[in-house]
């Protein structure tokens, strides 16, 4: 019996098991991250902490906090502190989301709009997760185009903060849903193909995409489907 051949045959199986482990941990951590996000949004709405900030201050707090947390997560992703910091980040993001949630809740059908946005985000995630498991093609080339698209969205969003154009906001929301839905597919496919081996990093990427999809859906629904009390 050739032991070398047996070792070579075992390599794909070990690699597959490792990829499945990372993917499974990513899904579990992603599900767990929803808890502090919802809690943060509830705390934000209940206390009015996000609404108390002026739009300019709120934007600065969001950008500094988000990028600060992401830097910390990247530095600690291979340590025991990685998961707690990620969960603290999702709580912070929930608090920041509470401003939009509070505005939508102020509409006559606000609770229904939030549930619709949540269901829509879930459907998009399920669709992208399914696609990531059936598509055989390597999607790694998508990364640079999606990154450029995300940067352009960020720049346009910052510009619209000063312009305050409703039409541009709708356009950016629609584009964000498309771009970040593709990001979900891209990030999950990277895990499945073995390009991403750290489940904390994988969870962060998918979480940010889901957050942006939900936020964009909620903004669209609030603009187009809300009825003031």
- In eight-state DSSP terms, residue 165 is -
pTM exceeds 0.85: yes
Question: Which residue has better confidence, 123 or 8?
Answer: 123
Task: Determine how many CB atoms are found less than 10 A away from the CB of residue 164.
Answer: 9
What is the SS3 assignment for 106? coil
Q: How confident is the model at residue 225 (pLDDT cuts 50, 70, 90)?
A: low
Rounded CA separation 199/157 (Å): 29
Q: Any idea where the domains of the chain sit in the sequence?
A: 3-33+99-225
Q: What residues contact 42, with CB distance under 8 A and at least 6 apart? A: 94, 98
> Residue 110 in contact with residue 64, Cβ under 8 Å?
no
Task: Determine how many CB atoms are found less than 10 A away from the CB of residue 190.
Answer: 22
pLDDT digits (tens, 9 = 90+) for 86-108: 999 999 999 999 999 999 998 88
- Average pLDDT of the chain, as a whole number: 89
* Residue matched to tokens 């696609």: 131
Predicted local confidence at residue 214, as pLDDT: 96
pLDDT at residue 4 greater than cutoff 80: no
Task: Determine how many CB atoms are found less than 10 A away from the CB of residue 78.
Answer: 11
> Residue 160 in contact with residue 169, Cβ under 8 Å?
yes
């Amino acid at each position: 019996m050739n032991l070398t051949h047996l070792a070579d045959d075992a390599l794909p199986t070990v690699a597959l098991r490792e990829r499945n482990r990372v993917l499974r941990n990513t899904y579990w951590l992603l599900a767990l991250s929803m808890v502090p996000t919802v809690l943060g949004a509830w705390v934000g709405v209940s206390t009015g902490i996000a609404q108390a900030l002026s739009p300019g201050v709120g934007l600065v707090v969001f950008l500094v906090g988000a990028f600060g947390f992401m830097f910390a997560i990247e530095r600690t992703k291979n340590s025991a502190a990685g998961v707690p910091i990620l969960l603290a980040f999702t709580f912070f993001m929930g608090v920041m989301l509470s401003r939009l949630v509070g505005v939508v809740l102020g509409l006559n059908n606000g609770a229904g709009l939030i549930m619709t946005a949540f269901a829509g985000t879930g459907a998009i995630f399920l669709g992208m997760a399914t696609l990531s498991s059936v598509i055989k093609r390597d999607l790694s080339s998508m990364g640079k185009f999606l990154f450029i698209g995300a940067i352009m969205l960020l720049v346009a969003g910052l510009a619209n903060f000063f312009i305050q154009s409703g039409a541009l906001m709708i356009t950016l929301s629609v584009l964000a849903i498309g771009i970040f839905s593709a990001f979900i597919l891209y990030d999950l496919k990277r895990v499945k193909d073995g390009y991403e081996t750290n489940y904390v990093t994988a969870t962060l990427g998918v979480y940010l995409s889901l957050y942006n999809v939900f936020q964009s859906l909620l903004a669209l629904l609030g603009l187009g489907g809300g009825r003031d009390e």
